[in-house]
A and B are shown apart, each in its own frame.
Chain A
Amino acid sequence: MQSRSLMVLRLSTTAIEEIGATPHGRLSIFPIIGGSFDGERLRGRVLAGGGDWVTAMADGTIELDLRATLQTDDGALIHLTFTGVRDDANNYFRTLPRFETASPKYAFLNRLLAVGIGEIRPDGPIHSIEEIL
């Protein structure tokens, strides 16, 4: 598969909201309080207010469900969502980001699919997001 770097996304989260054991697994919510993103075609900051709904599954994998709002350095707002899987036993952390924006300049984001390679750092998660060509 051909892909091209889209951005590196850094997220800052605050105290986890532990919902606990639900019928689907153990649900934790990581509220997003900020962050940044940087790529050749777009860069800016992550607005506070999104979150990652994280469910620990019975097979040891972790299912991610993230929503965040990105604000580019020239003022456009971009709605980002992704689902993904984290499997620490296999050092696997991959996501499938999708974007929505009303900005004509960034409308190309509405027309692409992407893959994120995640990594947990001491100061929060980092996602290297690549456009699927």
Chain B
Amino acid sequence: MNTRLLMMLRVKVGTPQNLGAVPLGTRRTAPLSGGSFEGARLRGTVVAGGSADWQVLRSDGVLEMDLRVTLQTDDGALISMRSFGLRHGPPEVIAAIGRGESVDPAAYYFRTTPRFVTAHPAYAFLNRIVAVATGDRRPEGPIYTVHEVL
């Protein structure tokens, strides 16, 4: 599989909403309070309003993530990104992340699959690709290294 770096996306997580035990697992919604992204072809900021990560901790210990982010480029385009992801790892590593500690991202699996839609012609190439990302859960919020699948 050939990929090319698309951007680094840093998001800031606000106060999580712990919905608790739902039929699928333990549901938590993490609204985003901001963030930024930077790559050779696009850069800008995360729009806080409609951006959040809808998470379900499954019975097998895997965290499913449904991240929806509105990106605003430095030249004013709005890009909607949706990204399904999985996070899991050794219990002690996941516990350390839960305590807000910085953990080596190689110690656990945190991968997502972003797709994009935009109406802006300069970024229309994003409508035509799929992407994969590696995540690094930092205390202030995750950093995603997003790669275009070529």
**A residues in contact (CB < 8 Å) with B:** 1, 3, 59, 61, 83-85, 87, 90, 92, 94-96, 98, 107, 110-113, 115, 117, 130, 132
Contacts and interface: CB of A to CB of B under 8 A. Distances in A.
A130 B127 contact: no
Contact of A61 (B60, B127, B149): B127
B124 A111 contact: no
A59 B130 CA distance: 16
Contact of A1 (B3, B115, B130): B3
A88 to B, nearest CB: 11
A27 B3 CA distance: 30
Interface stretch (B49-57, B69-77, B83-91): B83-91
Contact of A110 (B3, B62, B113): B62
Contact of B1 (A1, A83, A85, A110): A1
A96 B128 contact: no
Contact of B134 (A1, A90, A110, A130): A1
A117 B129 CA distance: 12
Given A94-B129, A107-B60, A113 B1 contact: no
A96 B113 contact: yes
B132 interface: yes
Contact of A95 (B60, B128, B130, B134): B130
B72 to A, nearest CB: 21
A71 to B, nearest CB: 22
A3 B1 CA distance: 7
B115 A83 contact: yes
B112 A113 contact: yes
A40 to B, nearest CB: 16
B147 interface: yes
6 closest cross-chain pairs (CB), A and B: A3-B1, A96-B113, A1-B3, A94-B130, A87-B128, A113-B111
A61 B3 contact: no
B123 interface: no
